[in-house]
Chain A
Amino acid sequence: MMMHGPPMGGRPGAMRRGAGMGPGRMAAMPAERSKDLGATLRQLLARLRPEWPMIATVALLASASVAFNVIGPKIIGNATNVIFDGVIGKQLPAGMTKDQVIALLRARGQGQLADVLTSTNAVPGVGIDFTALTHVLAVAVAVYVLASVLQWLQAYLMAGVAQRTVYRMRQDVESKLARLPLRYFDSHPHGDLLSRVTNDVDNVTTTLQQGMSQLLTSVLTVVGVLAMMLWISPLLAAISLVTIPLSLVVTIVIARRSQPQFVAQWARTGELNGHVEGMHAGHALVQVFGYTDRAVATFGQQNEELYEASFRAQFLSGIIQPAMQLLTNVNYVGVAVVGGYRVATGTMSLGDVQAFIQYSRQFSMPITQIASQMNLLQSGLASAERVFEFLAAGEVTPDEVAAELTEPPGRVQFQDVSFRYERDKPLIADFDLDVRRGETVAIVGPTGAGKTTIVNLLMRFYEIDGGRILLDGVDTRDLARETVRRSFGMVLQDTWLFAGTIRDNIAYGKAGATEDEIVAAARAAHADPFIRALPDGYDAILDEEASNISSGEKQLLTIARAFLADPPILILDEATSNVDTRTEVLIQQAMARLRHGRTSFVIAHRLSTIRNADEIVVMDAGRIVEQGTHAELLARQGFYCDLYASQFAEEVGSEAAVATAS
Chain B
Amino acid sequence: MLLTLLRRHLPHYTLQVGIVLVLLLVQSIANLYLPNLNAEIINNGVATGDTAYIVRTGSLMLAVTLVLALVAVATAYMASRVAQGVGRDLRGSLFTRVLSFSAREMDHFGTPSLITRNTNDVQQIQMFLQIGLMLLVSAPIMAIGGVIMALHEDVHLSLLLVVIVPLMAAVVAVLLSQAVPLFRVMQVRLDRVTQVLREQIMGVRVIRAFVRVEPEAERFERANADLTGTALRVNRIFAAAFPMLMGIMNLSTVAVLYFGGRLVDSGDMPIGNLTAFLMYIMQILMAVLMAVGMVIFVPRAEASAERIADVLDTVPAVTDPARPREPTGATGAVTFRDVTFGYPHGDRPVLQDVTFELRPGETMAVIGGTGSGKSTLVKLVTRAFDVSGGVLEVDGLDVREQSRERLWSRLGLVPQQAYLFQGTVADNLRFGRADASEAELWHALEVAQASDFVAAMPGALDAPIDQGGTNVSGGQRQRLAIARALVKRPDIYLFDDCFSALDATTDARLRAALRADTAGAAVLIVAQRVSTILHADRIVVLDEGRIVGLGPHAELMRTCEPYREIVESQLGEAAAA
Contact = CB atoms under 8 A, between A and B. Distances in A.
B45 A340 contact: yes
Interface string B81-93: 1011101100110
A662 B577 contact: yes
Given A274-B467, A299-B95, A492 B247 contact: no
Nearest to A584: B569
Given A87-B264, A155-B242, A329 B88 contact: no
A272 interface: yes
B2 interface: no
Interface string B193-204: 111011111111
B571 interface: yes
A344 B201 contact: no
A127 to B, nearest CB: 5
B257 interface: yes
Contacts of A534: 343, 346-347
Interface in B59-110: 61-62, 65-66, 68-69, 72-73, 75-77, 79-81, 83-85, 87-88, 91-92, 95-96, 98-99, 101, 103, 106-107, 110
A152 B92 contact: no
Interface stretch (B154-162, B354-362, B393-401, B406-414): B406-414
Interface in B240-264: 240-247, 249-251, 253-254, 257-258, 260-262, 264
Interface stretch (B4-12, B213-221, B324-332, B447-455): B213-221
A148 B258 contact: no
A585 B370 CA distance: 12
A550 B415 CA distance: 13
Interface string A455-493: 000010100000000000000000001100110111010
Given A83-B257, A281-B111, A323 B69 contact: yes
Contacts of B106: 280, 283
A322 B569 contact: no
A319 B73 contact: yes
A53 interface: no
A482 B203 contact: no
Nearest to A159: B235
Interface in A202-216: 202, 205, 209
Interface stretch (B34-42, B142-150, B512-520): B34-42
A52 interface: no
A535 B344 contact: yes
B504 A496 contact: no
B130 A314 contact: yes
A97 interface: no
Contact of A177 (B45, B200, B206, B345): B200
Nearest to B508: A650
A6 B239 contact: yes
B130 A490 contact: no
B211 A486 contact: yes
Interface stretch (A36-44, A233-241, A300-308, A433-441): A300-308
Given A287-B404, A321-B72, A333 B577 contact: no
B176 interface: no
A70 to B, nearest CB: 12
A613 interface: no
Given A128-B264, A511-B215, A289 B235 contact: no
B201 A582 contact: no
B535 to A, nearest CB: 10
A296 B95 contact: yes
Given A285-B413, A292-B99, A307-B84, A344 B50 contact: yes
B159 to A, nearest CB: 18
A259 interface: no
Interface string A318-343: 11011101100110110011001101
B235 to A, nearest CB: 4
B42 A340 contact: yes
Contacts of B375: 550
Interface in A160-199: 160, 162-164, 166-167, 170-171, 173-175, 177-178, 182, 185, 190, 193-194, 197-198
A19 B116 contact: yes
Contacts of A177: 197, 200-201, 204
A167 B224 contact: yes
A374 interface: no
A649 interface: yes
Contact of B238 (A8, A325, A490, A581): A8
Interface in B175-213: 183, 186-187, 190-191, 193-195, 197-206, 208-213
A137 B259 CA distance: 11
Contact of B68 (A112, A158, A325): A325
B49 A112 contact: yes
A159 B557 contact: no
A292 to B, nearest CB: 5
A163 B565 contact: no
Contacts of A86: 261, 264-265
Interface in B99-149: 99, 101, 103, 106-107, 110-116, 118-121, 123-124, 126-127, 130, 134
A659 B81 contact: no
Contacts of B419: 281-282, 285
Contact of A3 (B118, B242, B274, B529): B242
A492 B408 contact: no
B571 A654 contact: yes
Given A12-B186, A128-B261, A580-B370, A655 B300 contact: no
A290 interface: yes
Most chain A Cβ neighbours within 10 Å, of B66, B116, B204: B204
A130 B258 CA distance: 9
A112 B235 contact: no
A174 B218 CA distance: 10
B572 interface: yes
B242 A658 contact: no
14 contacts: A11-B187, A80-B275, A83-B265, A116-B49, A137-B257, A147-B247, A280-B114, A285-B419, A287-B408, A353-B46, A544-B112, A582-B565, A585-B566, A607-B572
Given A144-B251, A311-B85, A582-B543, 13 more contacts: A5-B242, A8-B235, A12-B299, A130-B262, A159-B232, A177-B204, A288-B412, A291-B431, A311-B81, A314-B76, A337-B54, A533-B346, A536-B345
